[in-house]
C-alpha cells in the first residue's frame, strides 16, 4: 500500500468514525477484519496517522476555523499534512491525484487552504489552553479546578500515546520469564514501576506477535488498572463481587489474588460482554469465577445476597477522562445526557453494591476519571448517607503507593504517574445497616 492509498484508507476510517457511535478502536478493528489483505506494517502506519489526527482534533479544528474552513475529515487531513508533517502544497497535490486508490484531486479552495497553512506548525501562540490541551468545553472547568496551574501539564500528559502494559498471570508464568520472552521477540520490555506483576512495552507491536497473550500467561491491562485491582486485596477462600465487571480485566486480577480459591462473581448489565469475558477466564486457567448478568444496579439478586461478600469492587461507569490518551476520540463523543446523568447513576450503583458487603468487609469504589465530581465528591456523598462505612487511608492498605496525588485515595494521572488516570477509594463496613 503506497502513501496515497494509506491516506485514502485513513479518510475512509475518519468518515466512518465521524458518522457512527462506536469508539474509534472498534471501527478500526472491524475495518482491519474486513480487509485482511492489509499487512501489519500498513496497519501500523494507518493506525499511527489516524490516531495522530484524533489527538490533534481541537488544534486542527482551530486552524480550520481560523481559515474559515469547515472541519471535515478531508480538511483535517489536509491541515495535518501541512502543519503536522510539514508537507508542501506541491507534495500534497502529488498525493491527492484522484488516481486509483488515491484521494480525489484537490479543489481550488483546498489549494488555497494549503497555501495559507504552508510553513505553519500545529500549535499557535493564540490558541487557548483548552485547545492546545485538546480539552472539550464540558470538562475544562472541572479539570481546571482540580489541577489549577498544572492544568496545561496534565492535559499534555493525556496527549502522549500510551505504552502497552501487560499483567503477568502468576498462575502460569513469572514476570522475569515474560520479560525474557518479550525481549527475545525484539520488544523493549521493562517491569512497571508500581504494579508488581506489570510489564511495560514501549512499542506497539502487533498482538499476533505475542504468543503469551494466547496462552493466558499475560493479559493487557494498564498499570493503573492493575493497581486498582490490587486494592481489593482478595484472599484465597473469600467471596468477592466485581460489580461492574465489563470485559473482566480486574476480575481476572482479583481471581489470581485468590490463587483460584474462593468465589468471584463478575456482574454487569451488559450480558454479552460478560459472555465474552468467560473465554478470557478459561484461557487464564481460572475456575473460581462466576458471571452474573444484572437487569440494573438494583437487580433483585443484590437484595437476596445482602451482606454476603468479603470484598466488593465498584468500577463505576464514568466520563473516562483518565483514558483520553488511549481513546482520544472519546473527548468529543457525547456522554449520553452528560455528567448530570452519570453522577446520580454512580451514586445509585455504589449505594446498591454496598449492600453486598458483610460487616468488616471491604468496598472499593473506582473510576477511570480525573473529575472530583465523580471521585472524591461521590465518596463524600456516600459516606454521609452510609455511616456504617468509613475510609481506610491508602497508607494503611497500600503503604508502597507513596506517590498518589491524594493522601487517602489512589489518584493517578498520566502526567504524574505514566498510567491512565484512575481513582480508587477503599471503604470498610463497620456494622450492620
Using CA atoms, how far apart are residues 77 and 40, in angstroms rounded to an integer?
22
What is the rounded distance in angstroms from the CA atom of residue 247 to the CA atom of residue 274?
A: 6
Among candidates 237, 229, 218, which has minimal Cα distance to 172?
A: 218
Alpha-helix residue ranges (DSSP H) falling in 233-270: 249-257
The yes-or-no answer on residue 69 being catalytic is: no
User: 430 to each of 150, 181, 241, 307, 357, how far by Cα in Å?
Assistant: 38, 46, 19, 12, 10
Catalytic residue among 69, 135, 318, 368: 368
Burial class (CB in 10 A: 0-12, 13-18, 19+), 43: middle
Q: Report DSSP state, residue 288.
A: S
Burial class (CB in 10 A: 0-12, 13-18, 19+), 19: exposed
Dist. CA 404–CA 421, nearest whole Å: 11
Alpha carbon 238 to its chain centroid, in Å, reads 29
* Count of other CB atoms within 10 angstroms of residue 84: 18
Which residues does residue 227 pair with via DSSP β-bridges, in sequence order? none
Distance from the first to the final alpha carbon of the chain: 64
Type and span of the H or E element at 230: helix 223-232
Is the Cα dihedral 363, 420, 395, 382 positive or negative? negative
Query: Which residues, other chains included, contact 182 with Cβ-Cβ below 8 Å and sequence gap of 6+?
Result: 189, 199, 201, 210, 212
Return the residue matching grid coordinates 491524594: 406
Angstrom distances, CA of residue 22 to CA of 158, 329, 333, 421? 21, 10, 10, 22
Q: Which of 207, 177, 243, 165 is nearest to 417 (CA)?
A: 165
The CA–CA distances, whole Å, from 394 to 185, 353, 403, 414 equal 38, 21, 11, 19
Alpha carbons 339 and 320: distance in angstroms, whole number = 11
Instruction: Just list the catalytic residues.
Output: 368
Amino acid at each position: 500500500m503506497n502513501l496515497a492509498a494509506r491516506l485514502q484508507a485513513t479518510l475512509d476510517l475518519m468518515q466512518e468514525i465521524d458518522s457512527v457511535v462506536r469508539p474509534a478502536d472498534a471501527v478500526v478493528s472491524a475495518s482491519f477484519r474486513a480487509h485482511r489483505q492489509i499487512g501489519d506494517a500498513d496497519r501500523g502506519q494507518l493506525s499511527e496517522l489516524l490516531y495522530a489526527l484524533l489527538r490533534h482534533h481541537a488544534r486542527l479544528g482551530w486552524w480550520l476555523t481560523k481559515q474559515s474552513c469547515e472541519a471535515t475529515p478531508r480538511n483535517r487531513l489536509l491541515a495535518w499534512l501541512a502543519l503536522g508533517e510539514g508537507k508542501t502544497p506541491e507534495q500534497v497535490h502529488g498525493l491527492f491525484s484522484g488516481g486509483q486508490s488515491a484521494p480525489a484531486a484537490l479543489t481550488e479552495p483546498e489549494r488555497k487552504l494549503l497555501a495559507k497553512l504552508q510553513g505553519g506548525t500545529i500549535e499557535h501562540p493564540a490558541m487557548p489552553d483548552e485547545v492546545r490541551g485538546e480539552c472539550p468545553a464540558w470538562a475544562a472547568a472541572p479539570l481546571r479546578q482540580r489541577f489549577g496551574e498544572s492544568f496545561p501539564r496534565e492535559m499534555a500528559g493525556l496527549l502522549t500515546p500510551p505504552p502497552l502494559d501487560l499483567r503477568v498471570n502468576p498462575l502460569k508464568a513469572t514476570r522475569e520469564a515474560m520479560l525474557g520472552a518479550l525481549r527475545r521477540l525484539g520488544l523493549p520490555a521493562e517491569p512497571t514501576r508500581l504494579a508488581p506483576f506489570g510489564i511495560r512495552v514501549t512499542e506497539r507491536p502487533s498482538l499476533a506477535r505475542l504468543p503469551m497473550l494466547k496462552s493466558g500467561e499475560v493479559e493487557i491491562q494498564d498499570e493503573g488498572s492493575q493497581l486498582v485491582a490490587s486494592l481489593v486485596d482478595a484472599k484465597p477462600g473469600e467471596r468477592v463481587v466485581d460489580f461492574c465487571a465489563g470485559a473482566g480485566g480486574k476480575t481476572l486480577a482479583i481471581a489470581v489474588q485468590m490463587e483460584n480459591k474462593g468465589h468471584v462473581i463478575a456482574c454487569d448489565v451488559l450480558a454479552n460482554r460478560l459472555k465474552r469475558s468467560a473465554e478470557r477466564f478459561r484461557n487464564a486457567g481460572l475456575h473460581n469465577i462466576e458471571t452474573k448478568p444484572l437487569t440494573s444496579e438494583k437487580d433483585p439478586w443484590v437484595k437476596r445476597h445482602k451482606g454476603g461478600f468479603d470484598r466488593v469492587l465498584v468500577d463505576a461507569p464514568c466520563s473516562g477522562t483518565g483514558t483520553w490518551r488511549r481513546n482520544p476520540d472519546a473527548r468529543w463523543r457525547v456522554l449520553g445526557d452528560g455528567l448530570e446523568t452519570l453522577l446520580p447513576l454512580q451514586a445509585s450503583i455504589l449505594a446498591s453494591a454496598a449492600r453486598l458487603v458483610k460487616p468488616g468487609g471491604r468496598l472499593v469504589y473506582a473510576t477511570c476519571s480525573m473529575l472530583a465530581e465523580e471521585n472524591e465528591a461521590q465518596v463524600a456523598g456516600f459516606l454521609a448517607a452510609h455511616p456504617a462505612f468509613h475510609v481506610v487511608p491508602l497508607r494503611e492498605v497500600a503503604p508502597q503507593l507513596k506517590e498518589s496525588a491524594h493522601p487517602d485515595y489512589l489518584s493517578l494521572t498520566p502526567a504524574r504517574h505514566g498510567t491512565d488516570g484512575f481513582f480508587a477509594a477503599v471503604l470498610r463496613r463497620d456494622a450492620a445497616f
